[in-house]
Structure 1
């Protein structure tokens, strides 16, 4: 909720700012923003028509200073500010109340946002914990596939070396006794059974 000046209040407040010192339009807009803690920054379309009206009424004058137009309060303007001191105090109090309400709303919004963020973080952490076993299983599968490839390579290498040795031996006229082949068969069979036992745990 931005501070909203009641009808005529902004006009009077602008006049009171000019009572403090001459100002150009942008300076007045900045002063309004500063006085309201940045919660209300009027547009040029809000401020300049009111300044023109004050000038029409003889309460302010304007002079051009380079590229800036400077507004200055007149004696009639000072008289109006003095006559409406009570109203100005009411406006100041209303702005202070508005700023407090906005600050409360901001604090509430921040608290809500923090609660929401904490809830999101908790949900994300829970999701991470829930997916951790799945991630671990994925890692285990990747590792198992890598070891399977290694085992395939070992078996293929063993087969190639045994075949090569046997063929080379026979090609050179060597004898290949049945008991040697029987020993090879038994050894491979024992190795296969041991592997199966280990795989089954």
Structure 2
């Protein structure tokens, strides 16, 4: 197989910013302390359960980010153990959480940081609305799927060379834009 200046047919990893995150690898949008503050703030606004928090963050980012349940639920447990939230009366099986007076005081103490974190949520939404990388990211995913699909079918050397030439040509054309 021949790899051009930009790598072979498998070297098409390009970081154009992150799309929706639903687990898996990649960097986190918010560290643990930041996510705790965001969740606490949202719970202080209205009693919520875990899935509702995930949906609310996704809505506030315009779909650009949704924390995974594997991060949200342990964080809720921690907030509960810290005495910042407590289980509220709920209908059904989902645990509904409300902020405690200690949680409200914690938010007041960190009000400036909380506002900055909420602004970051809005910034993610604004960037998504502007389409920063969106159509390009979609096209890259389509390209990646097409290349991997074709190569995994057991393409012959001639086909692999043709794919590599197409990718290298596309890279050169984009660089000239």
TM-score by length of 2: 0.56
**5+ long unaligned stretches in structure 1:** 117-201
| RMSD of aligned residue pairs (Cα, Å) | 2.3
Task: After TM superposition, list the pairs within 5 Å mapping 1:121-136 onto structure 2.
Answer: none
Which residue of the other structure, out of 72, 82, 106, is the alignment partner of 2:134? 106
Which structure has more relative contact order (CA 8 Å, sep 6+)? It is 2
Match of 1:81 in 2: 107
Correspondence for 1:197: none
> Which is greater in Rg?
1
In 2, distance between residues paired with 1:57 and 1:93? 25
- Range moving further from structure 2, 17-26 or 37-46: 37-46
Q: How many residues align?
A: 113
1:94 aligned onto 2:117: no
CA distance in 2: counterparts of 1:108 and 1:100, whole angstroms: 17
Between structures 1 and 2, the one with greater helix share: 1
2 CA distance for matches of 1:24 and 1:109?
32
Segments of structure 2 that go 5 or more residues without pairing to the other structure are 1-16, 19-27, 144-177
Q: For residues 102-130 of structure 1, give each alpha carbon's deviation from its aligned partner in whole angstroms, at most 9, with x where no partner exists.
A: 431114447x78xx9xxxxxxxxxxxxxx
Which residue is equivalent to 2:174? none
**Could you list the per-position Cα deviations for residues 78-135 of structure 1 after superposition, in whole angstroms to 9, with x for gaps in the alignment?**
111111111012112223333344431114447x78xx9xxxxxxxxxxxxxxxxxxx
SS at match of 2:95: strand
TM-score, normalised via structure 1 length: 0.50
